[in-house]
Amino acid sequence: MLMNEDLAKAFAAAIKRQLGVEASPCRDIPGGAAIYSDGDAAIYAIGCDALAVLHPCGVSLAAARILAKPDERAFRAVRAALKELEEYISGLLGIHPDIYLAGHEDDRDICCIYCLAPEKPEVRDSLFNALMDALPVCSYYREEGGDAMLFRESGEGLREDARRAAAIIEAHCARAGLCGPYERAISARGCLTKAWRAAKAEGAGVLPFGECRYGEFWRDASRVMANERFCARDFCHEALWRMREYDISRGTEYVKSLRAYLDSGRSPRKAADLIGVHRNTMAYRMRRVEELFGVSLDDGEICFELQFSMRVVEFLDATDEGESSAFFAPLAQRAMWAVLRGEPCKARKADARLILIPVDDMDDSRRNALLVKLLSPDEPRAAAFDDDIIYIAQSVDADTRALKGILRDEGLPGVVSQPFSLERLHCQMRIMRLFMRYVRSFSGAGGLIWANGACSTIFYLMLQQKVDLAPFCCDEVLRVTDVDYLKGSTLSASLYAYLTHYTDIKGAANEKRVHRNTLDYQVKKALALIGEEPLDDLIRFEMLCTYRILLTTGYSIL
């Protein structure tokens, strides 16, 4: 045997600590003695003074020189070699990226690449070794479908790293996905999912996840909507739906014009060029949108909700009405249908609003007294209730001033749905219960909160019950929030104000009550971190969506 017994025991102990398994007994093999072997990898003693980690393909991944003499100096050298080797093994023998990141929280500028495995093993191994040589890899994870590598962004930058990797991958006729860089290890959690999804998307070479993230999100959203039997209108701003109906009945193009206006950053000139009309015509149409449909296009929040609603209609089936109220409790259903004080068959197609009021902390007498107030004979309402919520249905045009007063006196919040056909009653109850829980998590004050100002939030609340939203957060936004965390800056809040005002620095500065030059400086620093200036319209929209996801999941950017 080419290794003495003491050294063999030392290596075996190190393997047990690192891999949690007993090392197999030393046995002679061609070229050396095996210290550990499990069919996936092996540690061999090569000659008398070298240690090598070998992959099943026979390619040496790492080597550490050792001393063969069993003296104290030799054992110190062995321990040092083992420590170095253990760190290397942790990245090379199947350590999932999230596990690696959990143990290396101080790592910075982390990227992830996932390469789909070529069919031929020899091609896969050749590709693997070429990527290991080309990228500053810090962790490797192999699974049946491909190889994932975490690497630190080199001094040449991610674009140059991606270019080198793309050349290697294309030369091997393979495909891969890329995501990052991440300023903090914690933000890189889940990077394997992002890189994997990018690799699975159509294309060749290396595809950054950012280039397919948008389509992947709506693909998942469509699947959830179909499974949950929701339809597009359930999550659309009511003004957009009325605008659609107006365009159909009058032959106008308000929806098309509004989309061009919002997608171009609320620039009448750019919007006019986009759809081929005069600038004055575009400005006139936007004034008419405000007059006819009761929205303020100076309000960045409303503009985003309208823009988001347009995407919902574009990517989801706007005609599929999903499930009907037939699945809801018959007693509550009959009570709600009485809202218009007519025959149920006549009321089915009429629009109504649903109002939810929490009563879970009330005793029966107080709850009954509240119900009597809410069902005043002067108000055309119907009600149903369960253990924790009173549901009020009323016609779309009903006055809510009396209701506001009751809730203010009681110190209770209430959430108000958008108009819906009574056939959609069950869906609206499910959606608004989610919204009520969200509202109560940050507000206990009395008053009404309207759903038409929170379409995107409600949509994300619904989605996060079924899918992980983290992979769809822009890496660009995460990089800025990470810098804020590490340096105590407020770049993310400034960037958010800038985006919600559709790149209007003056308007954003007024809202934040800071000098225009100060905000402009902070925004430029944020955009420099992102590497996108000027911002592409789609990236700007995706970044706003990311902020909505972060706010919906309780992340503070203020």
pLDDT tens column, 380-423? 677 777 778 888 877 777 778 888 888 888 888 889 999 888 77
The whole-number pLDDT of residue 8 equals: 53
Please report the sign of the dihedral spanned by the C-alpha atoms of residue 83, residue 85, residue 91, residue 94. negative
Angstrom distance (rounded) from CA 79 to CA 77: 5
* Structure tokens given for 411: 């110190």
* Structure tokens given for 87: 């760190």
3-state secondary structure (DSSP) of residue 534? coil
* Structure tokens given for 48: 């008398």
Cβ atoms of residues 51 and 88 within 8 Å: no
The whole-number pLDDT of residue 319 equals: 43
Q: Which distant-in-sequence residues (6+ apart) come within 8 Å of 10 by Cβ?
A: 75, 78, 79, 82
Helical segments of 444-512, H only = 455-463, 475-487, 491-500, 505-512
**Cβ neighbours, 10 Å, residue 544:** 22
The whole-number pLDDT of residue 101 equals: 87
Q: Which distant-in-sequence residues (6+ apart) come within 8 Å of 86 by Cβ?
A: 14, 17, 18
DSSP string, 295-328: --TT-HHHHHHHHHHHHHHHHS-SS-----GGGS
Amino acid at 536: D
* Structure tokens given for 553: 């999941």
Angstrom distance (rounded) from CA 308 to CA 474: 16
The partner residues of 178 in beta bridges, in order of sequence, read: 113, 208
Cβ atoms of residues 289 and 258 within 8 Å: yes
- Predicted TM-score of the model (pTM): 0.76
Cβ atoms of residues 311 and 537 within 8 Å: no
Find the helix packing angle between 364-374 and 401-410, rounded to 10°.
160
Angstrom distance (rounded) from CA 247 to CA 285: 12
* Structure tokens given for 23: 């090392």
Cβ atoms of residues 78 and 163 within 8 Å: no
The partner residues of 146 in beta bridges, in order of sequence, read: 116, 143
Of 230, 420, 342, 346, residue with least CA distance to 391: 420
CA atoms within 13 A on the CB side of 484: 19
How confident is the prediction along the chain (558 residues), in pLDDT tens digits per residue? 233 455 555 555 655 555 454 544 444 433 344 444 444 444 544 334 444 444 333 333 333 333 334 445 544 554 555 555 555 444 444 678 887 888 788 888 899 999 998 888 888 888 988 898 888 888 888 776 888 999 988 878 888 888 899 999 989 989 999 998 898 888 898 899 999 999 988 766 889 998 899 888 999 999 998 888 888 889 999 999 999 999 999 999 999 999 999 998 899 999 999 999 999 999 999 999 999 999 999 999 999 999 999 999 988 764 445 554 444 444 445 555 554 344 443 434 457 888 898 888 888 888 888 888 887 666 667 777 777 888 887 777 777 888 888 888 888 888 999 988 877 877 888 899 999 988 887 765 667 889 988 999 999 999 998 988 888 888 889 989 999 988 999 999 999 999 999 888 888 899 888 999 999 999 999 999 887 667 788 889 999 999 999 988 776 554
Contacts by residues 433-436 (CB-CB < 8 Å, ≥ 24 positions apart): 433/356, 433/389, 434/458, 434/461, 434/462, 434/465, 435/356, 435/461, 436/356, 436/358, 436/389
Amino acid at 216: E
* Structure tokens given for 156: 């040449």
* Structure tokens given for 456: 């995107």
Tracing tokens 């991610």 back to the chain, one arrives at 158
Angstrom distance (rounded) from CA 399 to CA 259: 31
Q: Which distant-in-sequence residues (6+ apart) come within 8 Å of 280 by Cβ?
A: none
Cβ atoms of residues 113 and 131 within 8 Å: yes
Tracing tokens 């080198």 back to the chain, one arrives at 164
Q: Give the DSSP H or E segment for 382.
A: strand 381-385
Of 374, 477, 355, 367, residue with least CA distance to 415: 355
Compute, in degrees rounded to 10, the torsion defined by CA atoms 337, 340, 344, 350: -90
Angstrom distance (rounded) from CA 362 to CA 368: 10
What is the longest distance spanned by two Cα atoms in the chain?
99
Tracing tokens 């609340």 back to the chain, one arrives at 461
The whole-number pLDDT of residue 140 equals: 82
The whole-number pLDDT of residue 284 equals: 95
> How do strand 137-143 and strand 146-152 relate by DSSP bridges?
antiparallel
